[in-house]
Amino acid sequence: MATKQAFQEQLNPFEIAKQQFNIAADYLDLDPSMRHVLETPKRQLIVSIPVKMDGGDVQVFEGYRVQHNVARGPAKGGIRYHPNVSLDEVKALATWMTWKCATLGIPYGGGKGGVICDPKRMSKDELERLTRRYAFEIAPIIGPDRDIPAPDVYTDEQTMAWIMDTISMVRGHTELGVVTGKPISLGGSLGRNEATARGCLYALREACKVKGMSLQGSRVSVHGFGNAGANIARLVAEDGARVVAICDSKIGLYAEGGIDIQEALRHKAKTKCLAGMRGVKEIPSDDVLTVDCDILLPSALENAITLANVGKVKARIIAELANGPTTPGSDRVLADNGVFLVPDILANAGGVTVSYYEWVQDQYSFFWSESHINETLEQAMRVAFKSVHETAQRYDTDMRTGAYILAVDRVAEATRVRGIFP
């Protein structure tokens, strides 16, 4: 029983986030006082969300908003709706957002939100009522200069529109910049929908250069087929890669000759799942992590690659579109096996980068073309990749630790310069 509990503790996302931070802090020789400040979330809000359901009864949901650090600017981070949301998960995600923004040099701190619910079992009207009440409850701590939410797991541009409208009603004026990931008609940014995947594509191209590989012709496996997973599968296929495996939460698909991603997108749009697609072999979802491939793209939830399955991973490059998909123990195994891992705080930072562009556009009411956004994103991702890779080489360590050293040093410097009030 004790062994089982110890194993479960290792999978606690906030404990993992602290482990990753402390590894970088050791390299930087941070003093204990600075460590305490940087590993402790600044603010944690827990709210009760009463929602009148379609049947007339009222259910009460629990929601969270965590702001980890705001030394470099307002908090920034998504909102997820999922049955397994927990306060520790949201704290971890807020922490990772702090380091992600610092890695890209974006003037934000880290925030995150979540509601414990099963959106697949709720109607659109119920989701709207839940969203608006949640937005009202967290309204005192969010805003364009305080904390800017965005979409995450099982939330989308419609969710953001409801939040923006609710906050605007509360404050008596339209507040475009209170959230990002909005519809274009409400101050959203061109390119935001595929920004996470496109940013990963740019980082992946750089990783291929480091490994002396070509993305064209490479065999790619994508674990997860939500917004980020579906978009990266499409983008790498357009770059000439052969996507041999994809999956959703229910089923995985495998085809040695490559999966027709456009057909998979059409099939999922029509049936709401990947099951039943012709010309492919159905496999368990988690087998997508261990199929024979050159590049693995974990694009679902955290703790996908653990000590239980890392020994079966065959990819030469892993780029993490999901947040926290690889445990620290698995990191060590992958490094020992020569796998080049592009960490989440770099690989999936395209989303928050274009969210930053959206926020800037909203602040100035001046909007950019999609080509300008994509070009600016590519430059930002290439600069960040180069900085992380150079840091990793300078400290003779892996890319994740290199990214953390870079990010933690930037946040620590901002904290030192600002000082502690009063």
Asked whether 323 and 344 are in contact (CB, 8 A), the reply is: yes
**What long-range pairs does 162-166 form, CB within 8 A, spacing at least 24?**
162/128, 162/131, 162/132, 162/135, 163/79, 163/131, 163/132, 163/135, 165/132, 166/131, 166/132, 166/135, 166/136, 166/139
Q: By C-alpha distance, which of 190, 228, 211, 221 is closest to 348?
A: 228
Q: By C-alpha distance, which of 123, 90, 73 is closest to 17?
A: 90
Instruction: Find the catalytic residue in 76, 100, 112, 182.
Output: 112
- Angle between helix 227-238 and helix 195-211 axes, rounded to 10 deg: 50
- Other CB atoms within a 10 A radius of the CB of residue 58 amount to 8
| DSSP one-letter code for 145 | T
- Tell me whether residue 281 is one of the annotated catalytic residues: no
Q: Is 110 left (phi over 0), alpha (psi -120 to 50) or beta?
A: beta
Q: State how far the Cα of 293 lies from the Cα of 373, in Å rounded to an integer.
A: 31
Alpha helices in 123-183 (DSSP H): 124-138, 157-171
Phi, psi of 225 (to 5 degrees): -135, 40
Q: By C-alpha distance, which of 241, 340, 246 is closest to 291?
A: 246
Here the tokens at position 86 are: 């927990």
Q: State how far the Cα of 317 lies from the Cα of 320, in Å rounded to an integer.
A: 10
| DSSP one-letter code for 263 | H
Q: State how far the Cα of 259 lies from the Cα of 242, in Å rounded to an integer.
A: 7
Residues 6+ apart with CB under 8 A from 222: 229, 232, 233, 243, 245, 246, 247, 288, 297, 299
Q: Which residues are catalytic?
A: 112
